[in-house]
Amino acid sequence: MVFICALGAAIANALTSVFQRIGVEDAPEESTLTLGLLTHALRRGIWLLGFVLMVFSFLFQAIALHFGQLSEVQPVLTLELLFLVFVLAVWFRFKVGSREYLGALAAGAGLAGFLIFANPLPGSAPPPPWEWGIATAACGGAMAIAVVLALRGPRWWRAAMFGSASAIGFAFTAALIKAVGNYFAQDWVSIFEHPQTYGLALFGLASVYLAQNAYHAGPIVASQSTIVLVDPLVSIIIGVTLFGDNLRTSGPWGPLEAISLLVLFAGAFSLVQSPLVRGIKGVDARDAELLGGRRRHDAVTHPLSPPPLGHS
């Protein structure tokens, strides 16, 4: 049940990232960090479709987190990249090459290795309020620092920093989803008595908003890599420190887990650098934005534009 729901969330996330990227990539440059970006997105039918899929992803993730641990559910969501490549290859008819196959193999093997070696087990007691306060301040502060760093620099840097802020928010949102889900299972009326419910709404909305700014700020290779890679790392830290998730770290288990994570992230990073994920068809050179921060040229790259659905 845990892994099936986590995979469902990963699939929905992959489709969401494509549809929402299409919905905001042509927004005016000055709409970054303004409500204008959201009003532009809300007028695009394809962005709204992505939002509906995001809701389904939330439901799948909530079920997975209710029955599983944060440190085992969130790493599974990195498989979003595999599904993203599949969507781009099938729907956009991009050619899948050795980079994609090797990246997918590494990501899958790394994830399997981490889950086998770490064998995450739940903690013994729910976190007390003061620990929630420290986690809220730490995650909120890290998000604020990333947003400040995103206000200057080339477009790839801004996309990466907005993506990092969004990923931290998504990781903490997952922790809040787990807490609220447990309250809901006991007595759904009681969820309104807990601050985690309101924190879920605040951090969830902020994370979605920052993700839109990441998609809009620069190349998808920068935004997607940070969103997909930072989220599981922060989630593992939150799972261990806040929820007391038990990971096997004694003896050879610790190094094997570290190696597995490195393999997982190497595979995911390879996938996110693929021309399929970048939205570049038939061009091997990196997007000029990644190196020089220049605005993209239509003659070299083109926005993700699927068949009729993208013309809403």
Q: Residue 276 is encoded by which pair of tokens? A: 């399929």
Q: What is the pLDDT of residue 109?
A: 86
Q: Which residues lie below 8 Å from residue 147, measured CB to CB, with a gap of 6+?
A: 33, 161, 162, 165, 210
* CB count in 10 Å sphere of residue 173: 26
Q: What is the pLDDT of residue 149?
A: 95
Q: What is the pLDDT of residue 174?
A: 93
Q: Which residues lie below 8 Å from residue 16, measured CB to CB, with a gap of 6+?
A: 50, 51, 53, 54, 57
* CB count in 10 Å sphere of residue 194: 17
If phi over 0 gives left and psi between -120 and 50 gives alpha, with beta otherwise, what is residue 187? beta
Residue pLDDT tens, the chain, 312 long? 888 999 999 999 888 888 887 888 778 877 877 888 888 888 888 889 989 999 999 999 989 998 888 888 888 888 887 787 777 777 767 676 777 778 878 888 888 888 889 888 877 678 899 999 999 999 999 999 999 999 988 888 888 899 999 999 999 999 999 999 888 888 878 888 999 999 999 999 999 999 989 888 877 767 877 887 888 889 999 999 998 888 888 889 999 999 998 998 888 777 767 665 655 433 333 333 433 343 334 333 444 544 443 333
Contacts 24+ apart (CB under 8 A), 96-99: 96/276, 99/270, 99/271, 99/273, 99/274
Instruction: State which residues form the domain around 101.
Output: 2-311
Q: What is the DSSP string of the chain?
A: -HHHHHHHHHHHHHHHHHHHHHHHTTS-GGGTTSHHHHHHHHT-HHHHHHHHHHHHHHHHHHHHHHHS-HHHHHHHGGGHHHHHHHHHHHHS-PPP-HHHHHHHHHHHHHHHHHHHHH--B--SSPPPHHHHHHHHHHHHHHHHHHHHHHTSS-HHHHHHHHHHHHHHHHHHHHHHHHHHHHHHHH-GGGGGGSHHHHHHHHHHHHHHHHHHHHHHHS-HHHHHHHHHHHHHHHHHHHHHHTS--B---TTTHHHHHHHHHHHHHHHHHHHHTSHHHHT-SS--SPPHHHHH-PPP-TTT------SGGGG-
Q: How many structural domains compose the chain?
A: 1
Name the packing angle between helices 129-150 and 195-217 (round to 10°). 20
Q: What is the pLDDT of residue 154?
A: 86
In the chain, the amino acid numbered 54 is M
154, 292 Cβ separation under 8 angstroms = yes
Q: What is the pLDDT of residue 277?
A: 60
